[in-house]
Structure 1
C-alpha cells in the first residue's frame, strides 16, 4: 500500500549556476551589511516589500527564469507552533519547485540551522495510498558551511523515524491488522533478529495480551527486536522500548460510541512511535543495547470477548480484574513490562508509549503528551529537552494514595480502579505494579494524532515525544 522505508529525498548534493538562491535573515540591517543589494535596491525593497507571518519570503528578481533569488525572514523561536521549525516548514512550502542554495546572512547558531533543516524536511510529509509523494524541491547541502553539513545526517535520521511513525499510524486498520503489522515490522528491521511470540502456549505465556486479542480473527502476538552497538558491552546501556500495538479498538463489550471509535486505527500509535524511535536510534548508531517490544492485538467483539469483572492471572501471576474492556492497552503493556524484566541483564531504562487514556487528553489537551516516571533525573532531562526540541511533554505524578482505588475486595488488581477521576494517574499506577522499583521506568500517555494541519504537521498520525526521547536517550547513554 505504501513504502514504509521511504528515504528523505529533499537534501541533495547538486551545485550549479542555475540553482536558485535562498537568503535567510533576521532583520533588514543584515541584508544591508551583506551587500546583496545596492543601497538604491535596498530603499526600493523597504518601500515596496514587507514580510508578514503569512508570507515570510520575498522573491526579488528572476532574470532568466532559471535562477531565482528569494529572501526569507527567519526569527529563531522555541514557542510551540511559532518555532524555527514551524517557520522553516512555512518558508519551504512557499518556495517554488527548484534546487535551492542556502545562504545565511544573519548570525544563527547551529541549533537554529538544524531546526531550519528539520522544518524543511517535515514540510514534505504527505500520506497518500494512491501515489508516491514526489519531491520536486531540493536543498543543495553543498551550499552549507562545513560546520553545518553533519547536521543534515542527524536531521535525516530523525525525519525517517518521524515519517515512519506517521505512516504506520495513518494506515487503515483493515490493512494494518496484527498479521500485516508483523510483516511490516520485519521489513522495517530487515537484517535484525526478530522473535515473534505467538505459539499455541501464548495464553499461558502472555495471558493478558491473549485475553485482549482472542476476540479477533487475527491472533495476538508479541514482537521482539534486539539490536546492539558493537562498541557497547552486554551489561551496559541496556534500554527497552515498548509500544502499545492495538491495531483497532472497538472498546470490546464496553463498546465505544461511533464518534469515539471513528479514529481508533490510531490506537497503535504508541507502537508506531516506539518503532520510529528505535529506527532512529539504530540509524544513529546510538551507544545502546536496544530491545524493542511490540505487543499486538485487535480489541474486537465476538463470543470470545473478555467481559467486565473477568479475572485473569497476568504473566507475573498478578490476578487482574477487568474494570472496563475499553481499557485494554494497560493489559497488554502489563504482560510486556513483566517480560521486559526477565532477561539475565536488567534494563537500565524501560520506556513505554501508549495512546492509553482520554483522561490525559482532558488534563493537558491533545498536543501535550503526558509522562510518568519513577526517576527524578530522567524526568528533568525529558522536560528540559522537550523545550529545547520544541516537542512538548509534561509530567504527571505517580500519586501513590490513588493505588487504593485499584484494589478490589476480592483480592484482584482492578485494571481501571473505582475512582472515576484521575484516570491517567490510576492507569500509570496500574502499570507501575508490573515494574520493579529498582528499574528506571518512563510511561508516555499520548494522542499520536494531529487534529488540525499546519506546515510540516498535517492532520493525521504524529510522532509526539519522539524527538524529545531520542535526544534524552543519546544524552544519557552516549
Structure 2
C-alpha cells in the first residue's frame, strides 16, 4: 500500500492541488462554491450525485456521495482519478478529515505482489491538522492484513506465516519463540500437532511478546490454518477455492499487534498463532479419533473440517496459564460458515463473556465505522457438544447454531474470570465497494484497537 499518497498538509501544495467537491444525491442546489465549468460538466453528464461517480475537470473534481451512508466513499476518487495532487473542498471538520484520509488510502490499495506493472496513482494533500502518521498506521495495518490473506497458500505456508511474525517482532523489538513439529507433543500442544501433522510443513505455535512486563496484559490469538482442505472430511472443490484465507485470524492478530506496537500503547502484548495446514495424508487425524488437549479435556473428532477450534483450544489453554492473567483475551478466526449465514460477509460477529466488554466493542465499532454484531454464548446449546466417549465433541450434534457451538467449544478452554472476546470473522469481501476490493479484508481490528486503547489509558484515533 502506497501510504505516501496521503501527504502532510503543505500550504503551497494544498493551494495548487485540484479541489474535490463531494456532492450528495440532492444535486448541486445550494453549492455556490462550485466553479462554473464544473456546473456545466455536471449538466452535460447528467450528474446527480450518485455514490461513487467521479467527474474530473481542470477546475476540480465532482464526487458523488449519494445519501452519505458510505463513510469511505472518497476512496472512489482515489481509485478513479489520474495521477496528480488533490485536496478536499471545503476543508472538512477534524472527524470527517480523518475518515477522508483513511478512505483515500483505502482507495490506493492494490494487491500487486504478482504484477510487474504498478499503476500510477493520485495523491491527496491532507487538510490542515490531520494526523497523517496516525492515519497511515491504521491503513497500513489494514493493507498488511489484506496482503497476508490475499497471498496464495503456496507462498503463505506455516513457515512463511512464522516469518511474517518474526519480521514484525524484529521491527518492534518484540521477543518471539516458535514450537515446531514433534516439539509440540513434548511441550503438550497435542491438538495443534494433530491438526497439522499430515502436511508437508510441520505445524507450529508462534508466541510473540512485546511491552514492559508490568503493563496491562493483552493476549491475541489468531487462527493460522494456512490452507484448509477439510482433512479427511474433504471439502468440495468450490468450498476449497478460498481456503487460502483460513489464516485470516492470524493475519488479523498480527495486524492488530502491528497497530498496537506502532501506536506505542503501554501494554504487555502477547500474540499466539497456531500455524498449520489441514492436509490429507496417511498421518492425518481421523473422524472418530479421541484427542487429548493441553487443558486435559479429551476431544472426540466429529469432523476433521472443524479444525480451527482445535488449534485455538490449545492456545487458549496456554493463555490461561500465566501467573498474571491477561486483562483482555481476544480470539480471531475464520471459524464457521454458519457465521456468514447469520450475518453475511461484512458484519463481523463476536462473542463476549463480559457485558462491559461487549458494550465497549459495539460502541467502538460504530465510532470507527468498523461494523460488529454481538452473538450469544447461549448455554442452552452447550449440550450439543456432548460426546458419549470423550469430554467434548469438536462439532455440534445437529445442523443448528454452528457459530454459537463453536464459540461454546472455545469457551471451555478459555481461562475463567478473564474478559474474553471471540470474533468469527470472514476476512474476505466477495463484492467490491469503494476502497474495499474483492479479496482479503480487515474486520474488527480498528474497533479492537479503540477498546484496547481506552482500557489501558492509551490514545488511538479512528476513522
Same fold per TM (> 0.5)? yes
Query: Is 2:197 aligned against 1:197?
Result: no
1:170-221 per-position Cα deviation (integer Å, ceiling 9, x unaligned): 1111111112221222123324221111264311421000000011111111
* One of 197, 203, 206 as aligned partner of 1:223: 206
> What secondary structure, in the 3-state scheme, does the structure 1 residue paired with 2:455 have?
helix
Could you tell which deviates more after superposition, 42-51 or 418-427?
42-51
2:144 is aligned to: 164
Q: Is the 8 A contact 1:355 1:447 kept in 2?
A: yes
RMSD: 2.4
Query: Is 2:398 aligned against 1:419?
Result: yes
Structure 1 unaligned runs (5+)? 1-5, 63-67
Q: Is the 8 A contact 2:198 2:281 kept in 1?
A: yes
1:125-177 per-position Cα deviation (integer Å, ceiling 9, x unaligned): 11121336455311223xx22x32x2x22211111111111000111111111
2:287 is aligned to: 308
* One of 17, 20, 35 as aligned partner of 2:17: 20
1:384 is aligned to: 363
Correspondences of 1:65-464 after superposition (within 5 Å) = 68-72=59-63, 74=65, 77=68, 79=69, 83-85=70-72, 87-104=73-90, 108-128=92-112, 129-131=114-116, 133=118, 135-141=120-126, 144-145=127-128, 147-148=129-130, 150=131, 152-190=132-170, 191-198=173-180, 200-204=182-186, 205-228=188-211, 234-464=213-443
Alpha-carbon offset, residue 47 of structure 1: 5.7
2:461 is aligned to: none
The separation in 2 between residues aligned to 1:76 and 1:188, in whole angstroms, is 40
Alpha-carbon offset, residue 316 of structure 1: 1.3
1:9 is aligned to: 4
> What secondary structure, in the 3-state scheme, does the structure 2 residue paired with 1:420 have?
coil
Change in 2 beyond 3 A, CA 1:132/1:342: farther
Alpha-carbon offset, residue 286 of structure 1: 1.7
Alpha-carbon offset, residue 56 of structure 1: 4.4
Q: How many correspondences in the alignment?
A: 447
1:209-241 per-position Cα deviation (integer Å, ceiling 9, x unaligned): 00000111111111111111x5xxx34421001
Q: Is the 8 A contact 2:299 2:390 kept in 1?
A: no
The separation in 1 between residues aligned to 2:89 and 2:49, in whole angstroms, is 21
Q: Is the 8 A contact 1:203 1:211 kept in 2?
A: no
Structure 2 unaligned runs (5+)? 459-463
Q: Is the 8 A contact 1:76 1:84 kept in 2?
A: no
Alpha-carbon offset, residue 21 of structure 1: 1.9
Normalising to structure 2: TM-score of the pair?
0.90
**Divergent runs of 4+, >6 A:** 40-43
The separation in 2 between residues aligned to 1:252 and 1:44, in whole angstroms, is 62
Q: Is the 8 A contact 1:124 1:135 kept in 2?
A: no
Q: Is the 8 A contact 2:429 2:438 kept in 1?
A: yes
Q: Is the 8 A contact 1:76 1:112 kept in 2?
A: no
The separation in 2 between residues aligned to 1:359 and 1:248, in whole angstroms, is 19
The separation in 1 between residues aligned to 2:413 and 2:44, in whole angstroms, is 65
Query: Is 2:49 aligned against 1:52?
Result: yes
The separation in 2 between residues aligned to 1:468 and 1:43, in whole angstroms, is 40
